[in-house]
Structure 1
Amino acid sequence: MRKTDYAFWTFLLMTGLAGATTLLNVTQTYSATSSQNSELYKQLDLFGDVLERVRSDYVEKPDDTQLIESAINGMLSSLDPHSSYMSPKNFRDMQVQTRGEFGGLGIEVTMENGVIKVVSPIDDTPAAKAGLMANDLITHLDNEAISGLTLEQAVEKMRGPVNTPIMLTVVRKGKDDPFDVKVVRDVIRINPVKSRAEGDIGYIKVSTFNEQTHANLVKAVETLDKQIGPNLKGWVIDLRNNPGGLLDQAIAVSDDFLEQGAIVLTKGRNNEETQRANARPGDISDGKKIVVLINGGSASASEIVAGALQDQKRATIIGTRSFGKGSVQTIIPLGANGAIRLTTARYYTPSNRSIQAKGIEPDIVIDEAIPDDLKDKIGADKPRGEASLRGHLKNPDGSAKEGKDEESGSSSYVAKDADKDTQLQYALSFLHGTAKGPEAANNASTAPAAPTTPPAANSSGTTTPTPPEEKKTTPN
């Protein structure tokens, strides 16, 4: 037999083997997939059996919708503390919070002794124009008593279509009798940015990251820049007790103070899902020194901003360790059935560090001075951070995989009086160059530096980090 014949038969044999191997691999893959699907179907059959037994044998007739919603929520919440199911109503409420505008009255309220207490009316809103005042107590809505309603239920009644009226029955200190106030609902815009001049320093408080945050922060900087003038020393960006919000807004706010370099990296389950957001040229502060204040209530999107400005050496971070929520949630609508909030990625600061269950450690640690009358109460409550949440994602860096070196959260107390606000006063002294203590000498991080750009891929994501806790007060 000729050599060419040997080569021909060898080729056929190898081709046959390759084909057999391919067929074998396909068969094995199909078999494995089929086995997994078979096991899944068994578990779904189990769920169906339990559901039917509950529906037929439970002592009272259950609500089928609530049973299914609870089962879905149980499945999602078993993944991590931030994945959950949102009913259609809860989904609408979430959209209101992230949009930052809704039809309502324009008052921030809380619940006290079974009635609604006005924390403060929002300027230029129907409530303010109608004369409602801080500490007013609202006992009735359209002549129906509030007693028995939750804060959320009362808020739902006060919100409504624009140009519709509602009658509030108000009890006010100094007035002998309750009185009625008619308020006509209007579009209410929640301003997540408050600002003021602290002498020659611009102070900006960012309370959340909704769709209004970036635009309002730019306006605040422009206003204070004109107000303070050429003697402006620097900026204090207060992110204390900011629970987070929209990722794209956190990126935009970080970009406001950076000329170049990475802002945040997000990494999903697969490598191809890695994305990086980069800063574009333009610093709205003109390179002025920046201090960012954080504490145990600073979470998620606020940690992205603090981490970006810290890693890029654009700001000095002052305060206490942040909450430690280093994951990103995507809101996935389910048509008329609400939506799910699903953890889809971890985020990393520009130096490629995960703060999950560890938090942002400030450059300068300053504990807030707690008044003596509150020390016993606050001291008894252990600060809660991501690391203390049951089922939280582990930090992927180093030994933290086994849950070691996890530590997040700190006191979230902030003094109401600015003069007694230890962290703020230290920040102001730091920017003036008069802060005392060994840490004050190390202010190198306040000078803008050439940003570092770690290797990553693609552009920024648009998913939504979720606040870890509900606010104690609710705007209407």
Structure 2
Amino acid sequence: MPRFPLRALISVSALALIPATTATFAAVDNSTYKELDAFMAVFERVRADYVDKTDDKKLIKGAIDGMLASLDPHSGYLDTRDFAQMRTQTDGNYGGLGLTVTMEDGAVKVVTPTEDTPAYKAGIKAGDFITHLNGNLIFGGTLDEAVEQMRGKPGTQIKLTVVRSGRDKPFDVTLTREVIELKPVKWEVKGQVGYININAFSKNTGMGVRAALMGIDKALGHQPLGYVVDLRSNPGGLLDEAISVSDQFLERGEIVSQRGRAKGDIERYFAKPGDAAHGLPVVVLVDSGSASAAEIVAGALQDNHRGLVMGERSFGKGSVQTLIPLDDTTALRLTTARYYTPSGRSVQEGGIEPDIKVPQLSDADYKTRPRFREADLRRHLINEAKVDNSVLEDDSKPDPRFAMTAEQLKAKGISDFQLDYALKSIARLASLPAPTKVAARR
């Protein structure tokens, strides 16, 4: 059964009835039966007296939606369409605009655009609000309704009206729908450094990273100075693939543990012998859009002192969703555990703090654009360590090392400051004397 540390924050629920055992009912106290009686009384009154004729399935679906919404933002029911879509997404091929969105105070908010998709190419950014679709106001509707309108036949166009912090007026963006064929792993050689860009943790991502490591060696004809692993704006995906990716860079040690409701419900995952990256220096890039499975990888390499994490504090989703099939076409997505990094840290709410904070100076809007994280979601799970959000929310402290403007960087030919800083850091690490390099990796 696949484990989903994170899927898209679009919560699409469906009608489903869960058969309960006699033992389960026996454990329910009398007060719960009274509440169920109240529910049935309301249900029957609505069916009988509501101004318009109601649909029983719609009413029950709404009740189930409300029950799951009271738990956390990531639990939900998947009907036939949504279950099939989730399977397709984890296989890395689905239709859409390439947006991960959520609902905030009645407005559709962008969590992250997926790289190389229509939304990404059009310049949609995390934190943007979508207020109109084809000129029609969508504020106050449901997330399902908005997502349904954004879907459509590949090749057709849709106009989005976007509100962005720091801009006085909304602006329109016209996108052409495409079949999104995710390439979860892309790589290239930059100078003498291997660059591995991981966009999602879908099926075979771990194998893709291993192929990238071998491809980089082959392209250079020798080993690189080191590797930059780019996890920015990676919304997560399959836990198994996060473990596989981490294992490519580790010789030994724990990768992640997950702990469920019961004290003894603990699973630990360890690296297998064999570091496919040959012990070379690794820099991991993260930002506020790096979530769940991406945070597992960053935390595993950071805690095992195998990689230097750079960028901004990550999203902070430290929960695991288990996909529980109810029949052949529907399923329950239920939060069943929290995960912990090898040192025992929960990233829930707090995220992964980079070893070196590097702002994206090449983004002219980086100072004004709000960062959207797990702690901003309603009913998010609380970190058991009582995270101080007042400290975590301060992303704007100036650092004298990073004083250049986007215009100045553009004049120097630098379009991605974080990546440029990471590549130069690998070169600096590789130039250190061998004993120092070993100490830095350990």
Matched, 1:53 2:38: no
The answer as to whether partners of 1:289 and 1:446 remain within 8 angstroms in 2 is no
3-state DSSP class of the match of 1:420? coil
Q: TM-score, normalised by structure 2?
A: 0.70
**C-alpha contact 2:255 2:270 (8 A) present in aligned 1:** yes
Query: Residue in 2 aligned with 1:276?
Result: 268
1:382 paired to 2:374: no
Matched residue, 1:422? 417
Structure-1 separation of matches of 2:393 and 2:351 = 5
Cα deviation, residue 244, structure 1 = 0.6
Hey, what does 1:174 align to over in structure 2? none
Asked if residue 37 in structure 1 is aligned to residue 29 in structure 2, the reply is yes
Paired position in structure 2 for 1:258: 250
Tell me: CA distance 1:278–1:290, structure 2 relative to 1, closer, same or farther (3 Å).
same
Structure 2 distance, partners of 1:409, 1:300, is 21
Corresponding residue of 1:407? 392
Once the two structures are overlaid, the 10-residue window that deviates more, 336-345 or 204-213, is 336-345
How far off is 1:58 after superposition? 1.5
Partner residue of 2:312?
320
The CA distance in 2 between the partners of 1:234 and 1:205, in whole Å, is: 14
1:92 CA drift (Å): 1.1
TM-score under structure 1 normalisation? 0.65
C-alpha distance in structure 2 between counterparts of 1:445 and 1:320, whole Å: 26
Q: Classify 1:237/1:404 alpha carbon distance in 2 versus 1 (closer, same or farther; 3 Å).
A: closer
Amino acid at match of 1:395: N
**Structure 2 counterpart of 1:195:** 187
* Aligned equivalent of 1:140: none
What is the Cα deviation at residue 120 of structure 1? 6.1
What amino acid is aligned across from residue 233 of structure 1 in structure 2? L
Cα-to-partner distance string for 1:102-153 (whole Å, 9 max, x where unaligned): 6x7xx9668xxxxxxxx9689xxxxxxxxxxx88xxxxxxxxxx99996645
* 2:287 counterpart (285, 295, 298): 295
Matching residue within 203, 206, 211 for 1:219: 211
8 Å contact 1:322–1:410 — kept in the other structure? no
Closer, same or farther: CA 225–447 of 1 in aligned 2, 3 Å: farther
Take 1:267 and 1:232, find their aligned partners in 2: how far apart are those partners?
38
- Partners of 1:371 and 1:446 in 2: CA distance: 34
Name the SS for the 1:203 alignment partner: strand
* Cα offset, 1:56, TM superposition: 1.6
Q: CA deviation at 1:247?
A: 0.3
Shift of 1:37: 2.9
Measure, in 2, the Cα distance between the counterparts of 1:409 and 1:206: 27
* Aligned sequence identity (%): 45
Paired residue type of 1:228: L
Counterparts of 2:267 and 2:98, CA distance in 1: 39
In structure 2, the residue matched to 1:128 is none
| AA at the equivalent of 2:371 | P
The Cα of 1:212 is off from its aligned counterpart by 2.5
Residues 73, 84 of structure 1: 8 Å contact kept: yes
Aligned residue in 2 for 1:244 = 236
Contact 1:326 1:356 in 2 (8 A): yes
CA contact (8 A) 1:314 1:445 kept: no
How many pairs were matched up? 348
What secondary structure is seen at the aligned counterpart in 2 of 1:271?
A: coil
Letter in 2 for 1:194: K
Counterparts of 1:43 and 1:170, CA distance in 2:
48
Are the structure 2 counterparts of residues 169 and 343 from structure 1 closer, same or farther at C-alpha, using a change threshold of 3 Å? Answer: closer
The offset of 1:356, in angstroms, is 0.9
Give how far 1:229 is off.
2.6
Distance in 2 of aligned mates of 1:293 and 1:198: 15
Q: 1:364 aligns with which of 338, 343, 356?
A: 356
Using the alignment, how far apart are the partners of 1:445 and 1:60 within structure 2? Answer: 73
State whether structure 2 residue 298 is matched by structure 1 residue 309: no
Give unpaired runs (5+ residues) of structure 2.
1-24, 100-114, 123-133, 137-144, 159-177, 397-405, 431-435
Q: Distance in 1 between matches of 2:253 and 2:83?
A: 35
Deviations 1:355-396 (A, max 9, x none): 111110000011111544x36xx61x5322112222111111
User: In the alignment, which residue of structure 2 is the partner of 1:67?
Assistant: 59
- Higher share in helix: 1
C-alpha distance in 1, partners of 2:218/2:323? 39
Q: Are residues 317 and 121 of structure 1, via their aligned partners in 2, closer, same or farther at CA, if it must alter by over 3 Å?
A: closer
Change (3 A) 1:445 1:80: farther
Is 1:234 the counterpart of 2:226? The answer is yes
Q: CA deviation at 1:311?
A: 0.2
Kept in 1: contact 2:429–2:437 (CA 8 A)? no
Q: Rate the CA distance shift 1:432–1:238 in 2: closer, same or farther, 3 A.
A: same
Which string of whole-angstrom CA distances, capped at 9 and with x for unpartnered residues, describes residues 226-283 of structure 1? 1023251000000001011000000000011101110001000112210100000011
Structure 1 gaps of 5+ residues are 1-32, 111-118, 123-133, 136-145, 159-167, 172-182, 436-442, 450-476
Q: Which residue of 1 aligns with 2:426?
A: 431
The answer on whether the counterparts of 1:359 and 1:409 sit within 8 Å (CA) in structure 2 is no
| Matched-pair contact (CA < 8 Å) for 1:358–1:406 | no
Bigger Rg, which one: 1
User: 2:210 touches 2:276 (CA, 8 Å); kept in 1?
Assistant: yes
Amino acid at match of 2:298: A
**8 Å Cα contact 1:100/1:210 also seen in 2:** yes
Give the Cα–Cα distance (whole angstroms) in 2 for the partners of residues 347 and 364 of structure 1.
24
The CA distance in 2 between the partners of 1:78 and 1:429, in whole Å, is 47
Whole-angstrom distance in 2 between the partners of 1:371 and 1:121:
19
CA distance in 2 between counterparts of 1:276 and 1:325 reads 18
Task: Give the C-alpha shift of residue 295 in structure 1.
Answer: 0.5
SS in 2 for 1:205: strand
